[in-house]
Amino acid sequence: MEYGVALPTMVRGVEGRDLPAWAHRAEAAGFADLAVLDRLVYGNDEPLVALAAAAAVTERIRLTTGILIAPYRGNTALVAKQAASVHHLSDGRLSLGVAAGARPDDYAASGAEFGDRGRRLDAMLAEMRKIWAGGDIGPEPPGGDPEILVGGRAPAALRRAVAHGDGYFAAAGPPRTFAERAAEVRRRWQEAGRPGSPRVVAQAYYALGPGADAAVREHLGDYYSFAGRLADMMIKGAPTTPERLRETAGAFAEAGCDELVLVPCASGPEQLDLLAETLEEAA
């Protein structure tokens, strides 16, 4: 199982100059992937813009939107061009994770319809494939199209991953839930007659070091303030010690995870260093 780490774009108070430094440090630490989350009605940097900045200071690490809420971006051709541009600027390192999202306020702020977002995402993914295949909208993706990972919890999202994606990107949650969804995606993949196997990626929040518990409560309590009991579940499930983080990683590996992306609840560079040390000890 590979390990990725998310840029702390969602952490309140993170400074813009910290994000390229974090990206460079993550690559030097040997992580396979640098991911970024998406929201519109929140204080985060836009995901593809953030990854373009990361592309400029890295050479090897994969760059992933984990995930991009595509349907509130109404111009499919523009999204395809933006994604192709990041893929081009990074010499073919973009992995485009997409999902329909669950927050009506993001859609209201962009003037997009919420109720038919799944149907529109299906159409967007098919159109982006056609755009990348050639035509007037560039740049031409180097070394082939960006990988597409489809996220979401609903059965429609699992179907979408098989119909349009190269794999599945699971939302944060317990390993047992991931195992069930990953197994379902793999089953559907085989039934559809698709060659090979889908790449399945999981996500987990974490904080380490002094103040880790407080950082988790503050960050996830704020980010999931709309979610009631789900916020409490997320806080309880986020590892805050090396021992718990290694247990969590082991559980995801046993669940058949190809890559685990760790999402920091604090933005200090020590979070990246402590994570790398913990995972190295688990190897």
**Is 34 exposed, middle or buried (CB count within 10 Å of its CB: 0-12, 13-18, 19+)?**
buried
Q: What pLDDT is stored for residue 228 in this prediction?
A: 84
The residue count for the chain: 283
Q: Can you give the residue ranges of every domain in the chain?
A: 2-282
Tokens representing residue 24 in the block: 């460079």
In the numeric block, which tokens belong to residue 190? 């085989």
Tell me the C-alpha distance between 178 and 175, whole Å: 5
**Model confidence, pTM:** 0.96
- DSSP 8-state class, residue 73: S
Question: CA of 72: how far to CAs of 79, 137, 146, 164, in Å?
Answer: 11, 21, 20, 18
Strand pairing partners for 95?
64, 147
Q: What is the pLDDT along the chain (283 residues), one digit of tens a residue?
A: 999 999 999 999 999 999 999 999 999 999 999 999 999 999 999 999 999 999 999 999 999 999 999 999 989 999 999 999 999 999 999 999 999 999 999 999 999 999 999 999 999 999 999 999 987 898 988 889 999 999 998 999 999 999 999 999 999 999 999 999 999 999 999 999 999 999 999 999 999 999 999 999 999 999 998 888 888 999 999 999 999 999 999 999 999 999 999 999 999 999 999 999 999 987 6
CATH number of this structure's domain 2-282, picked from the four choices 3.90.550.10, 3.30.420.480, 3.30.750.24, 3.20.20.30? 3.20.20.30
- Which residue reads 């979610």 in tokens? 227
The pair of structure tokens assigned to 123 is 């159409």
Backbone φ and ψ for 207, nearest 5 degrees, come out as -155, 150
